[in-house]
Amino acid sequence: MKSKIMSLCAIVAISLCLFACSPAPTQTSISVDASYTGEQFELAIEGSYLTVTLSSNPASTGFEWELIDITDETIIELTGYQFVPPEDTTLVGAPGEEIWTFKAINEGESTVSMEYSRPWENGTKAAETLTLTVSVPASVPQEVEKQNILSASALLENPVYDTEVKVYGKVSLLGQLNCPCFELSSGGDKVQVWYDLMVEDDKTERPAVSVEGIENGDYVIVTGELKTEGTHTVLNDFWASSIEK
């Protein structure tokens, strides 16, 4: 998949436009150059926008940016492109800007790959490259929030230790870790949920919780306790007492 994009002295302006209910969206801008290739950026909600603005000079040098790949177009998609010429058109060799707009359409992670090339046959390829990874965390549905059920990020931002709370999130790595546990993700963060028989330091036993019928990718509500101390726990361990889909 190819389309135009970037420049040798590329200045990349990345705007994360988070649309709220008001007419004007809240915007946050991050400016980086091509040395930031491989960095990860987070779009806080589905339906938000990533705008990449790149210096480009196709008229003088023949170089322009190409969009080489989006690894998962179910997560983020290209929705707009425009070339803005330099303000001073009398200045020979002045670069313009290519503006690329991507929309987050689902939670997950996808990587955008770009190259600065001369597009014609036998033209110079990949004089510059840029790779940006975009993460879109799962959001907590309104009906779940109304029940005072937390996201993983909300729990870790204001942790409640050794007290039962309910946490909502997406299951991953179930059956893939070297422990009776899985990861529960929501709001851009995650906890590690333990569901087998667990023993507190005072020898109190916590019975096992069934994960029958639960698969990776499912959204569940886990009741349990966040643990940070003791010989059997590490930060972000969450001991489950019940799991419901």
Q: Which amino acid is at 129?
A: T
Mean pLDDT estimate for the chain: 79
Residues 229, 115 share a domain: no
Could you tell me the pTM of the whole model? Answer: 0.57
Closest by CA to 96, choosing from 114, 80, 81, 113, is 81
175 against 4, higher pLDDT: 175
Q: Binning pLDDT at 50, 70 and 90, where does residue 33 land?
A: low
For residue 65, pLDDT beyond 70 = yes
Residues 179, 66 share a domain: no
Residues 131, 15 share a domain: yes
Residues 129, 154 share a domain: no
Residue 3 lies in a domain: no
Residue 167 lies in a domain: yes
Cβ contacts of 205 within 8 Å, gap of 6 or more: 197, 198, 199
Q: Binning pLDDT at 50, 70 and 90, where does residue 27 land?
A: very low
For residue 56, pLDDT beyond 80 = yes
Q: Tell me, what's the pLDDT at 124?
A: 78
- The total number of structural domains in the chain stands at 2
Residue 24 lies in a domain: yes
pLDDT digits (tens, 9 = 90+) for 212-231: 999 998 889 999 998 865 55
Q: For the ranges 21-35, 46-60, 175-189, which has the lowest average pLDDT?
A: 21-35
Residue 219 lies in a domain: yes
Q: Is 187 exposed, middle or buried (0-12, 13-18, 19+ CB in 10 A)?
A: buried
| Cα separation, 37 vs 128, whole angstroms | 10
For residue 39, pLDDT beyond 80 = yes
| Cα separation, 148 vs 33, whole angstroms | 42
Residues 200, 91 share a domain: no
Residue 205 lies in a domain: yes
Residues 118, 25 share a domain: yes
Closest by CA to 185, choosing from 113, 238, 143, 227, is 238
Structural domain including 22 reads: 11-136
Q: Tell me, what's the pLDDT at 18?
A: 46
DSSP one-letter code for 206:
E
Work out the average pLDDT over 72-96.
Answer: 85
pLDDT digits (tens, 9 = 90+) for 92-140: 778 888 888 888 888 888 999 999 998 877 777 888 888 989 888 766 6
